Amino acid sequence: MGTKTNFEEQVSYDDAFSENVVYDNHNPRQIRYGRITNKGHAMMPLQGSSYKQLVPNDSTASVLDFVADAFRDLNAKYNLMQLDIFEKDMEGNLKVEKAYQDPLTLYRQYMTDLMDSFVQQELIPENDNIKISKFSDFMVRLESFLNRRPNHPILFSSYVKSTLCPPHISGLMIELGKREHGNMNEKNDLALQVRLKNFNFLARKFGFVVPKQAPWCIVANLNSTIMYNYALEYDVPSKKRLVSSYFVECRNYDIDLLRERLVESYQKYIKETEVRLKKQLCEKSGLSGRIEVLNIDAAADPMVTYSIEDWIRVYFSFMSHERDVQNTKVLFDNTMKDCYYVFERQGFETMHDYGISKLKLEKKKIDKYR
C-alpha cells in the first residue's frame, strides 16, 4: 500500500473520529497519559493501591478500584442500550481483553532480555570471559555495550516513559477488543459506526474517554468530576490529590531495581560461564571432577562491595547513556561527589534533580526511546 493511500486513509479516519476527541493516544503530549506527573516524572500505581477485578473469577483483568466501579456501571448501561459493538463474555458482560499490567514485572523481563543480549553479544563471542573476575569488570564491558545503544531505556523510570511500556500499567485503561493498532480498515469500520459515537458519549457519562487511535479501549479520565466521584468512595481527600493518593514516582525505585537486575545478571553469568568452561576443559583433557577455571573473588559480593555512592555513580552514568549525553570526566566526578553529599543531607529526589541539572540531562523534548 502506497504512502498516498495510507495518508488518505488516515485523513478519512481523522475526519470520522473528529467529534469530541479528548484523548489522542498518538499525540506526543498525550501518549504518556497516566504514566507521567504534571512535572514530567514517570509514575505508576502505588504497590499498595487497591485493584478490583473487572471479570468475576479472573484475577488477570483488574484496574484501580474506582475505575472498576465506573466500568461496572458503564457495562450495565451498555447492556440496556443494546449497542452491540464489542464482544460479550458468557455472562453477557463486555468482554475484557486486557487491563492492568504490572510495570515492575514488565521492567524486570525487559532488563533480563537486555542483559542476556549483552552477555551473548559482548562477552561470549570474544572468548575472553576469563577476564571477568569481579563485578567492576562486568560493569566496564556493560558500559561499552551501552555506548553503542543510545536512547534505549535502562532505568525503570525511563522504561515506564518509553513506548516499550504499555499504557495499561496505569491501571486506568481497559481494552474491550483484540484489534491490530495499525489496521486502518478495522479502525475505520469502528469509527464510521453511529453506535461508536453513542458509545463515546456513554463512556464520557461514566468518566471515561475513548482513545482516538484505539477506539476499542476506554481510559479513565482523571480530570472528570464523574470519575472523581467514584474515587470519593475510597476516601480520596480532593480531586487535586487523586493522583498522589494512587500513584508514586518511579524514580524512587530506579537504583534498587537497577542494582537488583545487574547483580542478578552478573551472578548468573559467572555461574553459567564456570559450568561452560569446566565442560570445555574436561572435554579437551579427559579430566573430571572439580576444576577451577575462573579466578573469582567469592567474597566480592557486589551487593556488599558497591556502596550507595558507587550506585549513584552507576545511576547517572547509565542515565547519560540513555540520553546520549557526554560530559567531561572531571565534571562527572565532581558532580558525583556533590550528589552523594546532597543525598546524605537532603535525600534522593533533591540529589536526582541536582545531578540532572549539573550534567545537563534534562530532556528538552519528550523522550523518544525506542
pLDDT tens for 247-290 read 999 999 999 999 999 999 998 888 877 666 655 555 555 555 44
Nine cell digits for residue 316? 547517572
Give the integer Cα–Cα distance in Å for 20 and 18. 6
Q: Are residues 46 and 170 in the same domain?
A: yes
Residue ending a domain, among 204, 223, 249, is 249
Query: End of a domain among 249, 276, 292?
Result: 249
Q: Indicate the SS3 state at residue 339.
A: helix
CB neighbourhood size of 113 (10 A): 10
Residue 327 burial (CB < 10 Å; 0-12/13-18/19+)? Answer: middle
Dihedral angle over CA of 158, 163, 166, 170, nearest 10: 50
- Asked whether 219 and 172 are in contact (CB, 8 A), the reply is yes
Tens of pLDDT along 12-55? Answer: 445 445 554 455 655 656 778 899 998 889 999 998 768 898 87
Domain count, the chain: 2
Q: Do 157 and 256 reside in the same domain of the chain? A: yes
DSSP secondary structure letter of residue 123: I
What's residue 203's pLDDT? 92
Q: Amino acid letter at 301? A: D
Residue with cell 458468557: 90
Contact 25, 211 (CB under 8 A): yes
Same domain, residue pair 182 and 301: no
90 and 35 part of one domain:
yes
Span 123-147, pLDDT tens digits:
876 655 457 778 888 999 999 898 8
**Confidence band (pLDDT; 50, 70, 90) for 305?**
confident
